[in-house]
């Protein structure tokens, strides 16, 4: 069901303004956060740049008696289309604004959007699609995987950051950068240490768990950061959750869904969710080897469309790879398919 009209809404939580703008093809919204600190006006994330999303966002700024010319800093949480969309427009309209993103996000985004790289992206997507066949997909489904993975980079534009961010960086003597890989490799959160606010992008959501799965990994990333082990992304995500929990945030401001006023409880719920899924997967394949596709259908159901079938399989693989790293499951090949067993 699509919305026929789109709108924005502004909420104030303490001294933080949440600007919520509808997502055109869903019943959800994207939130950008505005706050002031030490005389600087700051945005967290730059939202979407399709349909009239940008127009609505600028209308919301105007309602706050602001324009993009007033903004000093814009932090980007990660490279997905609904978070980097307006960054180039911000910079064009206000050359003095400082765009900040993690080094991994910047390099990934530059690679994704570089003219002439489309065939490279498609080739990397094809490698993943070929793996998906070994995990249970048929050829038609694998072609959809290539289309899905190579479509979204074309919807993004690269904006070179003014400041490259790294885990532990501190801005304005208080705003701490937390590297939180999981939903994407370069994902960051921003921790306002004085207020104990966490601006978290897609890292922690109030009602669902963010997608943790397979992505197109540029070769240069694995070469430049060999110690990170990007394929075991769920391990990174769970470690990231612990890092956030140890900060003891008072409020979490996510990009979607509700603001989280009991961060420890929500983090515990997400960790428990993944713990249960790991246990369920281990139990399902304890005595009967299965393909990852079959395992994903036992968990997510059989009636998913092609995109969600891929996302379900991708999420299942993230759990299987963690179990494999923990020596709790093994793999075997049969009839050209990879099967996992306990």
Say what the pLDDT of residue 27 is. Answer: 60
The pLDDT value recorded for residue 5 is: 56
Q: State how far the Cα of 292 lies from the Cα of 319, in Å rounded to an integer.
A: 10
Per the domain annotation, does 307 fall within a domain?
A: yes
Q: Which CATH number fits the domain that encloses residue 43?
A: 3.60.15.10
On whether residue 1 sits in a domain, the answer given is no
Q: Tell whether 305 and 192 lie within a shared domain.
A: no
- Give a yes or no: residue 26 inside a domain: yes
pLDDT digits (tens, 9 = 90+) for 161-203: 999 999 999 999 999 999 999 999 999 999 999 999 999 999 9
Domains in the chain, number: 2
Do strands 175-179 and 330-334 pair parallel, antiparallel, or not at all (unpaired)?
unpaired
**What is the residue range of 20's domain?**
8-113+158-273
Q: What's the distance, CA 43 to chain centroid?
A: 18
Pair (245, 324) in one structural domain: no
279, part of any domain? no
- Which residues of the chain register pLDDT less than 50? 1-4
- Are 27 and 163 in a shared domain? yes
All residues at 6 or more sequence positions from 117 whose CB lies less than 8 Å from its CB, including other chains: 111
Tell me: do 191 and 253 sit in the same domain: yes
**92 assigned to some structural domain:** yes
34 plus 101 within the same structural domain: yes
Same domain, 68 and 164: yes
């Amino acid at each position: 069901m699509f919305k026929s009209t789109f709108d924005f809404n502004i909420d104030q939580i303490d001294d933080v303004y949440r600007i919520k703008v509808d997502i055109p093809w869903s019943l959800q919204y994207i939130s950008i956060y505005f706050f002031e600190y030490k005389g600087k006006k700051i945005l967290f994330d730059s939202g979407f740049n399709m349909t009239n999303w940008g127009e609505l966002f600028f209308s919301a700024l105007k309602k706050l008696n602001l324009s993009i010319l007033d903004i000093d800093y814009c932090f980007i949480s990660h490279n997905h289309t609904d978070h980097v969309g307006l960054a180039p427009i911000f910079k064009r309209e206000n050359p003095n604004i400082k765009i900040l993103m993690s080094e991994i996000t910047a390099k990934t985004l530059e690679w994704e959007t570089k003219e002439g790289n489309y065939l490279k992206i498609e080739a990397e997507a094809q490698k993943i699609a070929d793996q998906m066949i070994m995990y249970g997909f048929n050829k038609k489904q694998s072609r959809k995987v290539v289309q899905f993975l190579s479509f979204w980079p074309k919807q993004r534009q690269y904006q070179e950051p003014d400041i490259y961010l790294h885990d532990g960086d501190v801005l304005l003597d208080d705003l701490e950068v937390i590297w939180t890989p999981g939903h994407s490799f370069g994902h960051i959160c921003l921790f306002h240490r004085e207020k104990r606010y966490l601006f978290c992008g897609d890292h922690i959501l109030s009602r669902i768990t963010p997608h943790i799965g397979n992505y197109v990994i540029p070769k240069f990333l694995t070469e430049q950061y060999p110690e990170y082990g990007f394929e075991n992304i769920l391990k990174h995500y769970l470690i990231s959750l612990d890092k956030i929990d140890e900060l003891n945030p008072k409020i979490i401001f996510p990009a979607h869904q509700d603001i989280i006023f009991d961060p420890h409880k929500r983090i515990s719920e997400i960790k428990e969710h993944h713990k249960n899924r790991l246990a369920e997967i281990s139990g399902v394949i304890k005595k009967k080897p299965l393909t990852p596709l079959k395992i994903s259908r036992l968990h997510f159901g059989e009636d998913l469309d092609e995109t969600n079938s891929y996302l379900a399989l991708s999420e299942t693989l993230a759990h299987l790879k963690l179990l494999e790293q923990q020596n709790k499951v093994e793999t075997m090949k049969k009839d050209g398919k990879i099967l996992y067993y306990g």
